[in-house]
Amino acid sequence: MVYTISGVRFPHLPSIKKNSSLPSFNDDRSRTNAVSFSLRKDTRSSSGKIFAGKPSYDSKSSSIATTASENLGSHQSDSSSAEPQETVSQVTQVHDDVDAQKAETEGQEQTSALSTSVGESNKANTASMSESLDQKVVQRRIPPPGDGKKIYDIDPMLKSYDGHLDYRYGQYIKLREEIDKNEGGLEAFSRGYEIFGFTRSATGITYREWAPGAKAASLIGDFNNWNSKADVMTRNEYGVWEIFLPNDADGSPAIPHGSRVKIRMDTPSGIKDSIPAWIKYSVQAPGEIPYNGVYYDPAEEDKYVFKHPRPRKPTSLRIYESHVGMSSTEPMINTYANFRDDVLPRIKKLGYNAVQIMAIQEHSYYASFGYHVTNFFAPSSRFGTPDDLKSLIDKAHELGLVVLMDIVHSHASKNTLDGLNMFDGTDGQYFHSGERGYHWMWDSRLFNYGSWEVLRYLLSNARWWLEEYKFDGFRFDGVTSMMYTHHGLQVEFTGNYNEYFGYSTDVDAVVYLMLVNDMIHGLYPEAIVVGEDVSGMPAFCIPVQDGGVGFDYRLHMAVADKWIELLKKRDEEWQVGDIVFTLTNRRWGEKCVVYAESHDQALVGDKTIAFWLMDKDMYDFMAVDKQATPRVDRGIALHKMIRLITMGLGGEGYLNFMGNEFGHPEWIDFPRTDQHLPDGRVIPGNNGSYDKCRRRFDLGDAEYLRYHGLQEFDRAMQHLEEKYGFMTSEHQYISRKDEGDRVIVFEKGNLVFVFNFHWTNSYSDYRIGCSVPGKYKIVLDSDDSLFGGFNRLDDSAEFFTSDGRYDDRPCSLMVYSPCRTAVVYAAVDGNEDSSLVPIGLVPDDV
């Protein structure tokens, strides 16, 4: 019998069981039944070879306050080995005692733990190592910091908080200086993956791991039959463990590609086997609960080679939020290869220019949606191999799509068997110790951003995904949780600046965000970085050199909440002024990505907009040859209007979660079994079903269903934005918010948007103001029959303006505005008519 997991094939493992007792440090776990597996090679995935195999274990302990860089000295060989050693340049250790400085001016409320952490620890000067690394990586320059003062010109109100903001920027400057002095600069510091973890040279493999709490360590795995006596590691004075494995006599590496590996450590809380913290791939074997690290180093001829350049950064960002595993129409875990071949062309056809992919970093718990990360440098093996992911990204680039990764640096899985938690047997290695290091709502661990080695780890992690996989940027998850010690829990942000610049601000975390944004934009000026912040932190999307946090976009999260709030009310209770206020209530000069709904609203326990609108009628009345119910008619009309006005007024970027473009029915429910709680209660599961953990794209494609009309409208909406670029137009004017008529009229560029939210009233000869005189034509009509509408407008009609001010505009035109419709008019001249795409109809080959 053969089990297959994401491109890794396991023969039947009759003898694999978890041993009930913990192994001793020198326990030889060799068995007669070796486990072998191979990386599958076919036309849809990358290749591999056949290797040997074995099992895994765990632990717990106290905290340490030490942070350290390593002394990358000469390698020490096992006394029984006569093989030559790899030579690495000696790195000079610099012992810097930087005194922690407390805030001395008014507003410097919080002393950064970062300065204390850096000051009290010994940091390695890795300049000579950086010189050798630069022979392999073209040197790129991260610009020096600015003065951080421009934020006061942008927002004079911030001047009242200059004590806090100047202190924050001072901590950032100090950290940049420390990194320059001790690590050769941020560019070199962010390449920790070329030093730590497994690195390969012509003579062998070096493995390094920072584990200061460990008392002894050995590298174990398939390659040495899990014998902890075979490859004992040495430790330097800074807690970095190291071993060099010379090539075999035939020149082949000591660890074959695909071998399972772990580090066994004697820790303050006992013996534990851990997946290397910098592992690049990990898998879960059938019959085993914890994951195993995998040494992933395919032969050169089997490595995926990128063929297509990165697309240019789009001016208007239209993001298709996606999850590879649930992207199949079938109840299964989908693959990178299937997503590449089936979903990417769909995204391109719909008119989006960016795909944001969730759950890339390895996470042992599938139902965490990828947010409980266990292996930060490893792409999830559920969906395929690392080379499969590279092929997916390369295909997206070929299609002109930028690829954003949903990256998680706000917290980590609390798993001790296969994650970073208690990695070296202590509570505070990567995370804050005690209560501060635990997120009670997410049930996860919280990073200590004041630790030197944590900074190296996270900065290198962000760069790794840009360098190795050619992602074009990130959506940083949970940034609000990072920036405040209360994590945004049980706190209501009102916009009062005291909420942002006080004792509850985690300066270490904000400084880390400034660092990572500076690093990303310095190395990749075209990269896009979006931050998930619900607090409205001022200067969040202002460049770091100007004193900001450095993100390109903030997720405009209040809009989705407002739509849910309105959908719980009757139409008569909706206030168009309230809608406009919510859509436009954002900080001037700081770009936003807006959405009507994301994956959050699609989860079990919540409802999508379509489900709020149409409820159970979606199951029986969506066939076009069947009479729709009033609920379905209302739902289809408002679904289109909500999405268009959100895109039109809500931000400079737009996001849609896959399937919601056509009103995907029901919710997302990950496979789960019954959960038995300690108090005897049982939380029922769904029998491990994948039925509601997929996307029914076939519904949107079926022309005989009303879902198809919603999908076609979304497609027309994206292509309209592509043609006119209205989201980023400098000209925006809202000329009408009529509570009696329930009408909203606004201009974006040369377009005029007219929304009639009234449930029964249609208006003939309705005068609307505009700024551009001349002829107008309809370029998008939500009431078109193609989009499931009633065809109440003549889309070939031409409209001519009249002079004279109306709604404070220099001219006006008369239109027909049917109830529950959204219509977009474009100013045209005689030469432009033929280039218009009527009603957003786009050829299928676009």
In order, the DSSP letters of 367-401 are GGTT-S-SEEEEE-TTS--HHHHHHHHHHHHHTT-
Instruction: For 266-322, write each residue's pLDDT tens digit.
Output: 999 999 999 999 999 999 988 788 899 999 999 999 999 999 999 999 999 999 999
**Residue at 531: amino acid letter:** G
Amino acid at 393: I
Q: What is the pLDDT of residue 693?
A: 81
Residue 845 has pLDDT above 90, yes or no: no
Q: Which residues are catalytic?
A: 477, 532
| In contact, 695 and 669? CB cutoff 8 Å | no
Are the C-beta atoms of 739 and 575 separated by less than 8 Å? yes
Q: What length is written for the chain?
A: 846
The confidence band for 139, taking pLDDT boundaries of 50, 70 and 90, is low
**pTM given for the model:** 0.84
Q: What per-residue confidence (pLDDT) applies to 750? A: 93
- What per-residue confidence (pLDDT) applies to 691? 83
Write down the pLDDT at residue 834: 37
Q: What's the average model confidence in pLDDT over 409-422?
A: 95
In this prediction, residues 721-749 reach a mean pLDDT of: 97
Are the beta carbons of 47 and 41 closer than 8 angstroms? yes
Task: Write down the pLDDT at residue 351.
Answer: 97
Confidence of residue 832 (pLDDT cuts 50, 70, 90): low
Tens digit of each residue's pLDDT (9 = 90 or more) over 694-719: 899 999 999 999 999 999 999 999 99
Distance between CA 133 and CA 199 in Å, rounded? Answer: 12
Q: For position 672, what pLDDT does the model report?
A: 84
pLDDT digits over 345-357, tens only?
999 999 999 999 9
Query: pLDDT band at 486, cuts 50/70/90?
Result: very high
The Cα–Cα gap between 521 and 756 comes to 42
Establish how many alpha carbons lie within 13 A of residue 249's alpha carbon, considering only the half-sphere containing its beta carbon. Answer: 2
Query: Can you point out the beta strands (E) in 775-820?
Result: 775-781, 798-800, 802-806, 809-817
Of 34 and 603, the one with more pLDDT = 603
d(CA 768, CA 773): 12
Place of tokens 């008619």: 633
pLDDT tier, 679 (very low <50, low <70, confident <90, very high otherwise): confident
Q: What pLDDT, on a 0 to 100 scale, did the predictor assign at position 290?
A: 87
CA gap 143, 521 in Å, rounded: 9
Give the model's confidence band at 146: pLDDT under 50 very low, under 70 low, under 90 confident, else very high: confident
Q: Are 262 and 282 in contact (CB under 8 A)?
A: no
Mean pLDDT of 818-838: 76
42-46, 607-611, 635-639: range with lowest mean pLDDT: 42-46
pLDDT of the residue at 844: 53
The CA-atom distances, in angstroms, between 99 and each of 103, 116, 174, 292, 451 are 13, 7, 11, 42, 15
Determine contact, residues 187/523, Cβ cutoff 8 Å: yes
Q: What is the CA radius of gyration of the chain?
A: 29
User: Which domains, and CATH codes, for the chain?
Assistant: 726-827 (2.60.40.1180)
Confidence of residue 604 (pLDDT cuts 50, 70, 90): low
pLDDT, mean of residues 88-112? 34
Is the per-residue pLDDT at 34 higher than 80?
Answer: no
624-653 pLDDT, tens per residue?
A: 999 999 999 999 999 999 999 999 999 999
Structure tokens at 246: 């010379």
3-state secondary structure of 117: helix
No. of helices (H) and no. of strands (E), the chain: 19, 38
Least confident of 62-76, 336-350, 446-460: 62-76
Please name the helix (run of DSSP H) or strand (run of DSSP E) that holds residue 266, with its range, or none: strand 260-267
Alpha carbon separation from 322 to 330, 332, 598 (Å, rounded): 16, 16, 10
> For 206-235, what is the mean pLDDT?
97
Average pLDDT over the chain, rounded to whole?
84
Quick count: other Cβ atoms within 10 Å of Cβ 227? 18
Q: How confident is the model at residue 585 (pLDDT cuts 50, 70, 90)?
A: very high
CA angle 345, 346, 347 (to 5 degrees): 90
Percent of the chain with pLDDT over 90: 73
The secondary structure of 540-585 as a DSSP string is TTS-GGGTS---SEEEETHHHHHHHHHHTS-GGG--HHHHHHHHH-
Mean pLDDT for the stretch of residues 64-78: 36
Residue 37 has pLDDT above 50, yes or no: no
Q: What is the pLDDT of residues 352-396, one digit of tens each?
A: 999 999 999 999 988 888 899 999 999 999 999 999 999 999 999
Question: Average pLDDT, stretch 769-794?
Answer: 96
Q: What is the pLDDT of residue 830?
A: 62
pLDDT tens per residue across span 501-539: 999 999 999 999 999 999 999 999 999 999 999 999 999
Per-residue model confidence (pLDDT) at position 671: 84
Q: How confident is the model at residue 448 (pLDDT cuts 50, 70, 90)?
A: very high
pLDDT of residue 39 exceeding 50, the answer is: no
Amino acid at 550: G
Q: Give the model's pLDDT for residue 761.
A: 97
